[in-house]
Amino acid sequence: MRSPVTLLRHGLFLACAVVLPLSALAQSTGSPASGPGSAPNGMGTPGGARAPSQGNADPVVGSVEGHLIYLSDLGEASKTLPENLHGLPFDTLYPVLLDRMIDHEALVIMARRKGLEDKKQVQHDIQAAIERILEGAYLGEVAAPKVTEQAIQNRYNRQFANRPATEEVRARHILVATEAEARKVLEDLQKGADFATIARVVSKDPDAAKGGDLGFFRREQVWPSFADVAFSLQPGQIGPNPVKNEFGWHVIKVEERRLVAPPSFSDMHDQLRQELLGAAVQQAIEQARASLTIHRFNLDGSELDTAPRLGAVSAGGNQGP
């Protein structure tokens, strides 16, 4: 049986297998900037191993054939950990993460010695990874700065601040095929039959199993004729006449009414942030496309229609998120 440490190390190997530290990327491109505190050429210890830097905010914590591993590399690797490992102390994870990064560097070195980085598919994958990083870096440069706390507050103020409370009702309904059936249901209800019980027996709607309970809804969330009846009733009242739509005839009972205040800023903060970020990203895309010469082709080589995409109308121009 493998020890807990071995199991943890195996789990981290799998969890971190996709991590490509910035230092490894820099080494593959020949950049000397493999990380903060990198020792210049000729300053390593015998055998090519570099001496760990001391008194550095991002110290060297390991070395494989002179390729340095920084504490920040371990931090990046720790972000990929499974949720159940996030609560472990860093002191517990440190030796395992360090071993994983040593494994990573060792495998990268062996791959280079086999000439794998010269393979066409590997070159293609490296280029694709670089382009994904550049795409993210560009959006981080031009889109992310627009999503400020003030911008989020402004959007909240426009959409929710000073908005009056919204009225909602909780209603049940019974759906039947004909007006005659609906009238018979109303007659039974007037004689004292239980609405939920009848709904379970005769209603054709999927919510029949819940006694026809629709939960709370706002006026604009249901079709107008249904809303007119539901919002005219007080709790406990049943609509005097059935209403018809394309699905059949509805008998309606209101159970509760309430006023719902607009959501608070803290409740909406993350959603508004995502909305602003999405708008900023879309604007960056449209502006980039507008400044470049772009051609699109069918599979037979003929050029596609170059009409703008639908998103360009809402995200383009000078209008900010």
Looking at residues 27-50, what average pLDDT do you find? 35
**pLDDT, tens only, 177-211:** 999 999 999 999 999 999 999 999 999 999 999 99
pLDDT on residue 84: 83
pLDDT on residue 306: 58
How many beta carbons lie within 10 A of that of residue 7, not counting itself?
11
For 211-257, the DSSP string reads: TTEEEEEEGGGS-HHHHHHHTTPPTT-B-SS-EEETTEEEEEEEEEE
Q: Give the confidence band of 31 by pLDDT, cuts at 50, 70, 90.
A: very low
pLDDT on residue 176: 98
**pLDDT, tens only, 249-266:** 999 999 999 999 999 999
Chain center to CA of 271: 10
Burial of 143 (0-12, 13-18, 19+ CB in 10 A): buried
Looking at residues 87-115, what average pLDDT do you find? 93
Check pLDDT > 50 for residue 25. no
Q: Give the confidence band of 237 by pLDDT, cuts at 50, 70, 90.
A: very high
Check pLDDT > 80 for residue 61. yes
Looking at residues 130-148, what average pLDDT do you find? 97
pTM above 0.85, yes or no: no
Q: Which residue has the higher pLDDT, 151 or 11?
A: 151
- Rounded distance, CA 33 to CA 40, Å? 10
**pLDDT, tens only, 64-76:** 999 999 999 998 8
Name beta bridge partners: 169: 217, 257
pLDDT on residue 179: 97
Phi–psi pair at 69, nearest 5 degrees? -115, 125
pLDDT on residue 247: 95
Largest CA distance in the chain: 99
**pLDDT, tens only, 204-223:** 999 999 999 999 999 999 99
**pLDDT, tens only, 283-300:** 999 999 999 999 999 999
Nearest Cα residue to 276 out of 158, 143, 83, 186 = 143
**What does the domain layout of the chain look like in residue ranges?**
4-36+57-118, 145-156+264-315, 166-260
Q: Which fold has domain 166-260?
A: Chitinase A; domain 3 (3.10.50)
Nearest Cα residue to 173 out of 191, 196, 201 = 196
Q: Give the confidence band of 79 by pLDDT, cuts at 50, 70, 90.
A: confident
How many beta carbons lie within 10 A of that of residue 87, not counting itself?
6
Distances (CA, A) of 55 to 19, 63, 101: 27, 17, 22
- Rounded distance, CA 57 to CA 75, Å? 13
Looking at residues 56-60, what average pLDDT do you find? 87
pLDDT on residue 321: 38
CB 69 within 8 A of CB 63: yes
pLDDT on residue 90: 85
